[in-house]
Amino acid sequence: MRAAALKQTPEPGRHRKVRTASGESDRLTPGRLIDKGYRLKRRLGASDRVWLAVDPAERLVVMKTGSRSLIEHEYRILTGLVHPHIASVTDWVQCDAGSFIVSGYLSGGDLVSLAGLMPRYWLKAAHTIGLVLAWLHSRGIVHRDLKARHVMFDDSNHPWLIDFGSAAQIGSPWSIGGTTTVAPSRGNEPVMIGDDLYSYAALLHELLTGAPPAAGRRRRPSDDKAGLARLVDERLNAPADTRQPDLAAFGAVIKSMLGEDRIQA
């Protein structure tokens, strides 16, 4: 399945029917047939949770598995979101091999590969993801698991935000979920926009320096990135429940950098 086709996001509820199929065993291996139509090709990553597969129409897709409750949660979140930079889910499969959500395959790699490079290589993608977060927040949703490997590129180099397994409504009870990046000052308060603000700053820190922030071991960026770096550092040290600096502040600085001839991609 070509990544560009992801823009045709299914309407909420369109694929909510759960299909049950027989399987050989609960072991996932390359070549395994899932739900009499999807065939696994290879793992995407070190675990058995995410697979490259082929759908019944011979298109490449990604199949993600996990506990039924988590997979169902991510499916329901994603079927309610229609955005040109959020990877849509196209199917939900429940069989004796496990619970799976299916989405289109993004072939352009992830944002990790650009970390530490000159800003011209990643500024536009970072700006786009900031806009995606603002769009989510306007709809009452916090992603809660933003990191460089959760921003993927299609074959036209357009960025897509993926992995909504930890996403939650603003104000809902706090739970860690997945591998959420959280502020050190984070307590057990309900889900808040500040959770995404911290992780966005952590993402920008990794892009600026080549490494994610670690307590007491943050790298000093070069002078030409100092304006953005100051904002990142301010956010990383801000209380978890404050909204300043916010996405608009980051966006203004990034747009000014995009406007400089030496930064243009």
Q: How much is the pLDDT for 105?
A: 96
**CB burial string 14-34: b at 16+ within 10 A, e below:** ebeeeeeeebeeeebeeebeb
Q: How much is the pLDDT for 7?
A: 35
Q: How much is the pLDDT for 184?
A: 80
Q: How much is the pLDDT for 220?
A: 55
Q: How much is the pLDDT for 132?
A: 98
Are 166 and 177 in contact by the 8 Å Cβ rule? The answer is yes
Homologous superfamily of the 111-258 domain (CATH)? Transferase(Phosphotransferase) domain 1 (1.10.510.10)
Q: Tell me the per-residue pLDDT of 35-88, one tens digit each, with 9 for 90 and over.
A: 879 999 999 988 889 999 999 999 999 999 999 999 999 999 999 999 999 999
Six token digits for residue 125: 């993608």
Rg (CA), the chain: 19
The answer to whether domain 3-104 has CATH 3.40.50.10490 is: no
Residue numbers of the chain with a pLDDT score lower than 70: 1-26, 176-180, 215-226, 260-265
Q: What is the pTM of this model?
A: 0.84
Among 86, 90, 74, 67, smallest CA distance to 17 is for: 90
Question: Phi-psi region for residue 121, left (φ > 0), alpha (ψ -120 to 50) or beta?
Answer: alpha
Q: Which residue ranges does the chain devote to CATH 1.10.510.10?
A: 111-258
Q: Which residues pair with 61 in a beta bridge?
A: 53, 104
How far apart, in whole angstroms, are the C-alpha atoms of residue 228 and residue 210?
15
**CA distance readout (Å), 64 to 34, 60, 61, 189, 199:** 12, 13, 10, 29, 23
> CB burial class (10 A; 0-12, 13-18, 19+) of residue 249?
middle
Q: How much is the pLDDT for 263?
A: 46
Helix residue ranges per DSSP H, the chain? 68-79, 123-138, 193-209, 226-236, 247-258
